[in-house]
Structure 1
Amino acid sequence: MKMKALILALMIGIHFSACSKDENSAKADNPGSPLSTNTTKMKITIGSSVFTATLYDNPTATAFKARLPLTINMTELNGNEKYYDFPSPLPTNASVGGNIKVGDLMLYGNNVLVLFYKNFNTSYSYTKLGYVDNPTGLAISLGTGNVVLKFENN
């Protein structure tokens, strides 16, 4: 009888420990969301302008951060974004862009870094990397053509 009680107690304990989910593990399910509390700061330099950006806590942002410091020539596209083709891919978890905001930093496909400098709506899919904390003046600093940007740890 004692053995049956012990086995039953053990089975109940295993069931509850395997099925329980706390708040922190729920956040880990969507680590690229703006609601994630695990973020990293970085610095973006464009000419003499310096912006602080926040990187999300996701595998793509982690792989991007591992490439810092990075000085790249970003190409103008569509009057709303600058992009750069990495020679090798980064991990992805793309979702439909929806409302793009000034300062959004994203990955298109698995190797195209995109920095947006205008608000707009899109049906294209992107993996979220982060955002410029205060994008005031970002569009002016980026200008209308190709531009050199430096990304580095803050």
Structure 2
Amino acid sequence: MSLVAALALTACSGGTTDPPAASPAPPSAPTTGPGGDAAAAPTAQAPSPVPAAGDPQQQGTVQIQLTAGDLSLTATLVDSPTADAFAAQLPMTVPISDHASTEKVFYPPAELSTQGAPEGYEPSAGDLAYYSPWGNVAVYYQDFAWSRGLVPLARLDGDPAPLADLPDDTELTIALR
């Protein structure tokens, strides 16, 4: 019996070396996919390799207007190829839906470029971000954790709290200002 145990231990620790296990990937953003599927809420946070959307180092000068019924908000796009690709599709009118009592999401007419985009970032209330795995845009009215595949687009210039009250399927018009 001890010979069998010795052989089993030798086989487990012997000759070949397996590659090291990959570290766990950061969590996905909690946006809704095309089929209405939702990713699990993130539990870990990693530092963002780029400034947050509201950081003056990344802030651009192009402004956009978001309008839904009587609600009107302005935002300033970040300086990035992804934000440029978003601006090129404006104006657009899209239905929005709520996700996780944190963000309103919508799908732009076409996918956005993620050239030079960070691996992910941590959105704050007032950020607009593109979730590249599913191709949707989120307008955050609550802070959220770092999420892989989330690319900053813009920062609202005012209070995002009124977005929380907009019902699903509200038409949101976004245009250059």
Give 3-state SS (helix, strand or coil) of 1:39's partner: strand
Q: C-alpha separation between the residues in 2 aligned to 1:63 and 1:119?
A: 25
Alignment of 1:96-115 (within 5 A): 96-98=120-122, 100-109=123-132, 111-115=135-139
Q: C-alpha separation between the residues in 2 aligned to 1:95 and 1:39?
A: 24
Q: Which runs of 4+ in 1 moved over 4 A?
A: 30-33
Partner residue, 1:72: 94
Give 3-state SS (helix, strand or coil) of 2:60's partner: coil
Among residues 61, 64, 70, which one is paired with 1:42 in the alignment?
64
> Letter of the aligned partner of 1:147 in structure 2?
T
Identity %: 27
* Structure 2 length-normalised TM: 0.60
Equivalent residues of 2:61, 2:76 under 8 A apart:
yes
Supply the RMSD in Å over aligned alpha carbons: 2.4
Question: Residues 124 and 31 from structure 1, CA distance in 2 versus in 1: closer, same or farther, beyond 3 angstroms?
Answer: closer
Unaligned runs of 5+ in 1: 1-29
Q: Does 1:148 align with 2:175?
A: no
**Deviation of 1:96 (Å):** 2.7
Q: C-alpha separation between the residues in 2 aligned to 1:136 and 1:83?
A: 14
Question: Residues 146 and 94 from structure 1, CA distance in 2 versus in 1: closer, same or farther, beyond 3 angstroms?
Answer: farther
Unaligned runs of 5+ in 2: 1-49
* Structure 1 length-normalised TM: 0.68
Question: Residues 136 and 128 from structure 1, CA distance in 2 versus in 1: closer, same or farther, beyond 3 angstroms?
Answer: closer
Equivalent residues of 1:45, 1:150 under 8 A apart:
yes
> Letter of the aligned partner of 1:60 in structure 2?
T
Larger helix proportion of the pair: 1
**Deviation of 1:102 (Å):** 1.4
| Residues 97-120 of structure 1: CA deviation (Å, up to 9, x unaligned) | 32x221110000162111111123
Equivalent residues of 1:102, 1:119 under 8 A apart:
yes
| Residues 5-26 of structure 1: CA deviation (Å, up to 9, x unaligned) | xxxxxxxxxxxxxxxxxxxxxx
Q: C-alpha separation between the residues in 1 aligned to 2:152 and 2:108?
A: 16
Alignment of 1:111-126 (within 5 A): 111-126=135-150
Among residues 91, 103, 109, which one is paired with 1:81 in the alignment?
103
Larger strand proportion of the pair: 1
Give 3-state SS (helix, strand or coil) of 1:121's partner: coil
Equivalent residues of 1:118, 1:139 under 8 A apart:
no
Q: C-alpha separation between the residues in 2 aligned to 1:37 and 1:86?
A: 21
Equivalent residues of 2:103, 2:142 under 8 A apart:
yes
